[in-house]
Amino acid sequence: MCVIWGIPYLLIRVAVGEISPSVLVFVRTGLAASAPWFFLSSAEQHITSALAGLLISAVPLVSLVIALGLGNRQQMGLTNLSGLLLGLLGVALIVGFNLGASNVTALVEMAVVVVGYSLGPAILARYLTGIPAVTVNGVALTLCCIAYAPVAALQWPHGFPSLAVVGAVAVLAVVCTALAFLLFFALIAEIGPVRATVITYVNPAVAGILGVGVLHENLTLGMGLGFVLVLAGSTLATRRPAGAEAARRAPEPQPGKAL
């Protein structure tokens, strides 16, 4: 899962070089049959795939806040609070060191993506308990595809995209969307919505390596330091306090495991 969802940042960067974000989201969801994907695709027209991947590493922090807001019984200790603050400092370092070279609108779009990626697992675990993952996945992707169809039709490319773009979109749809969501839903059912987002710890590393190695993007010192802080903060923020396991009276709501 960490590798599968670390790859899309490279593929999106390749695809938006020739097709619009709306067309990309439409084709991606259509082949896989949401707003975060549109904003992610749009943002990567202005920022590097490595930076996008690093910003996504804040998802576990936001997931914890959302889980608490939805009434999750998970306890918050001093270690958890310290982790939240440390993670926020890391995000500030990532954005701050690159703010002059980045598009502010793109950074705002990435913030929307982080919230969307964090909110989805929480909704799935709390309100869609017992529904087969393949049903949730199919309905969500189909509705997303239908929603983007009119915009995609207006922005459809006049010529046939290059083989690199076609390949990028195909892998995004089949591997990084359809297959990835089925695996992710099973992971949420197994360990809960907050800890499932811990896979985003590794996503930035995969995105950064591919961005630098394939697209020859720059990985700055600030981005590296910020990622380390986000990684440490997310680990502390999602760690279960001592004695919390015994104090839990009931397990967290879990989505259906059927695939």
Residue-level pLDDT, tens digit, the chain, 259 residues: 556 666 666 777 777 777 777 777 767 666 554 555 666 777 777 777 767 777 777 777 777 777 777 666 555 677 877 877 787 787 777 666 555 555 778 778 778 777 877 777 777 777 777 777 667 767 777 777 787 788 788 888 888 888 888 888 888 777 777 777 777 777 777 767 666 666 666 666 667 677 777 777 777 777 778 778 877 877 786 676 655 555 554 555 555 544 4
The predicted structure's pLDDT at residue 259: 42
The DSSP result for 190-217, as a single string, is HH-HHHHGGGGGTHHHHHHHHHHHHS--
Question: Which residues have a Cβ under 8 Å from the Cβ of 120 and sit 6 or more positions away?
Answer: 36
Identify the DSSP state of 47. S
Structure tokens at 143: 């509705």
List the one residue out of 37, 199, 208, 5 whose CA is nearest residue 109: 37
pTM: 0.54
Q: What angle do CA 203, 207, 213 make, to 5 degrees?
A: 145
Question: Which residues have a Cβ under 8 Å from the Cβ of 157 and sit 6 or more positions away?
Answer: 18, 19, 20, 23
Cα–Cα distance measured from residue 115 to residue 126, given in angstroms and rounded to the nearest whole number:
17
The predicted structure's pLDDT at residue 100: 54
The Cα-based distances of 181 to 83, 96, 127 in angstroms read: 27, 32, 17
For the CA atoms of 232, 54, 164, 171, what is the dihedral angle to 10 degrees? Answer: 50
Structure tokens at 1: 């899962």
Structure tokens at 114: 């982080």
106, containing H or E segment: helix 104-127
Residue 132 backbone phi and psi in degrees, to 5: -55, 140
